[in-house]
Amino acid sequence: MQLDRSGTPTLLWGRSPEKIREMKETLVNSRYLPGCTLSDSIRLSADLESVVSQADHVLMVVPSEAFADTLRALQPHLTANTGVAWACKGFEPDSGRLLHHVAGEILGDDVPLAVVTGPSFAAEVAKDLPTAVTVAGRDDEFTRTIASALHGGRFRAYTSDDIIGAELGGAVKNVLAIATGIGDGMGLGDNARAALITRGLAELMRLGQVLGARPETLMGLAGVGDLVLTCTGDLSRNRRLGLALGKGKDATRTVAEIGQVVEGINTAVELHRLAEQHDVSMPISKQVYGLLKLGWDAEECVRRLLAREQKAETS
């Protein structure tokens, strides 16, 4: 919707022919964006080959678990000089790789790549509420092209060449949002929420240093900006899951009620593996992993965090 709003001719592909037919008739995505009307200038199609072959560039918005398969499906239809960007936030399942590594492997070195990330609830963008994001990639011209296509009106798009930091911030914040949601669900108070966000940021910074992210990226929109939004905004699916868990509700049932992918669940597994692999201390993220995957008790997780050895804040 923002691409169309900023004057960029837009084709929208969806894999469900039935959903595309419904959207053509109603101009509304009733499942994901109820109440938000699409412009009739956006062309809708369930034919991936037709859409990709006509596109100058592609912007993907899919769950991270579907990222690789979607790339493989569109790759044969890419024309020369077509770049691929995405607004997906997570790691590749099982490998823990950042998504630009996956895209580079599937599409090859000649296809320009970029990620669109930052504090941006889709429902608020659809309603044209003020939003600022980061577009990060190593091909400067393509990165600027995607940013320019999105930028306009009440939407600001900044550019960066730190794709590692941009992707890492977008992935890790999902796990930390579950943590802050759990704390709020348990009624731990505003002090605890602020502590979880701040110490969660410290975990992100430590991992970022090991993986090659720049600190200024993690202190910007793609890092602390997205972290604050996702940890405090109730439109966040990860926060909503955490709230339910903090109240003692079942994770599987809660995800079914949310009705969409909660990225932080799979991300918690990959993040735990990365932290172990690189010997990075991420105690908050570890407690989320234990609660989701090992059946740890939420009260015991809090006790573990508070019982950790005292140390200097910046160590």
Is residue 24 flagged as an active site residue? no
Beta partners for 115? 86, 136
Catalytic residue among 127, 173, 286, 311: 173
241-244-245 Cα angle (round to 5): 85
Q: Just list the catalytic residues.
A: 173
